[in-house]
Amino acid sequence: LLTALSRDVPHFLAEITAEMDEKVDRGRVADYIPELAAINDRQFGITVALRDGSIHSSGNIKSSFSIQSISKVFTLCLALGKLGDTIWSRVGREPSGSSFNSIVQLEFERGRPRNPLINAGAIGITDLVLAGHEPSEAIGEILRFIRAAAGDESIFVDETVARSESQAGFRNFALAHYMKSFGTLTNTVERVLGVYFHHCAIAMNCVQLAKAGRFLAFGGCNPETGFNIISQERARRIGALMLTCGQYDGSGDFAFRVGLPSKSGVGGGILALAPGKASIAVWSPGLDKQGNSLLGTIALEKLASSMSWSVFNG
């Protein structure tokens, strides 16, 4: 039997997609990674994965997009799994209030990045995941983790995007060199960024992303298989970081409007969690000024409000 919830979701998704298709202002596609600059901004897709295992989608859910910074949530899970709470000596847990690739903050904080979801923090986390491995092994491990979480072996790294970013990734090279100068990176800059650019270049469609992030919405456990991927405490803490730090320096406004722990990427994807209820993936490549999908945010705002999913609902 369909729950009341799964009956409502398809209706809202269809309504939201129709509304998004009409939008004239679609934001601006990220252009600092040449390969992403060429993407058609007319696209919009959304998928909701519910506790009962049902998956509901609308719009363009067949095309894979570059998950970019959404991958930082998965590398954080992996680093916590390997090293536990010792990772917090390398990276903080405070929202940054600066742009995702800011360098000034790093100077003030002497190479210890504010949080694991901005670039500097994620580069530090990648350094930890890489420790003792070859870059290709670390990339393989990250990909295996995401494939296992999604139950989908077809998820892949888009090598063209990885190469494109590494050729134009001057700012990330600067951040990594700067961290290295403070002694907060163990591996060489080239090796760490090689892994970082590859995990950012993982490609998924909305269905794959909603499934990959599902364990985070259900206390670390995949509700379909009953398989525990991380502990409940970790899922709760990662959710807190996503809520406070997941949308760059737009995190406060995003929490105000949507009220769901989420992580965005400059490829235009957003993974959002309605804890205990749903994992949601939305994609539309045009970004707002903070680098979050413009239509993705509007769609999540509407869905969370229609379903009363904000974590702040009384």
Write out the residues near ligand GLU by the rule CB under 6 A.
68-69, 100-101, 119, 165, 172, 200, 265-266, 291
Nearer to ligand GLU, 50 or 266 (CB): 266
Which of 99, 102, 192, 248 is flagged as catalytic?
248
Q: Do the beta carbons of residue 262 and residue 271 sit within 8 Å? A: yes
Q: How far is the CB of 233 from ligand GLU (least distance, A)?
A: 27
Neighbours of 28 (CB within 10 A): 15
Which of 29, 48, 71, 72 is flagged as catalytic?
72
Rounded Cα distance between 260 and 165, Å, is 29
Q: How far is the CB of 101 from ligand GLU (least distance, A)?
A: 6
Rounded Cα distance between 85 and 194, Å, is 25
Active site residue 266: yes
Alpha helices, H only, 84-229: 104-108, 119-130, 135-150, 159-168, 170-181, 189-200, 206-212, 214-217
Active site residue 91: no
Residues in the chain: 314
Q: How far is the CB of 263 from ligand GLU (least distance, A)?
A: 9
Active site residue 32: no
Active site residue 54: no
Q: What are 65's strand-pairing partners?
A: 204
Burial category of 172 from C-beta neighbours within 10 Å (exposed 0-12, middle 13-18, buried 19 and up): buried
Amino acid letter, residue 18? A
Nearer to ligand GLU, 68 or 184 (CB): 68
Q: How far is the CB of 175 from ligand GLU (least distance, A)?
A: 9
Nearer to ligand GLU, 68 or 75 (CB): 68
Rounded Cα distance between 147 and 164, Å, is 23
Nearer to ligand GLU, 55 or 165 (CB): 165
Nearer to ligand GLU, 58 or 69 (CB): 69
Q: How far is the CB of 196 from ligand GLU (least distance, A)?
A: 7
Active site residue 178: no
Give me the active site residues, please: 69, 72, 196, 248, 266
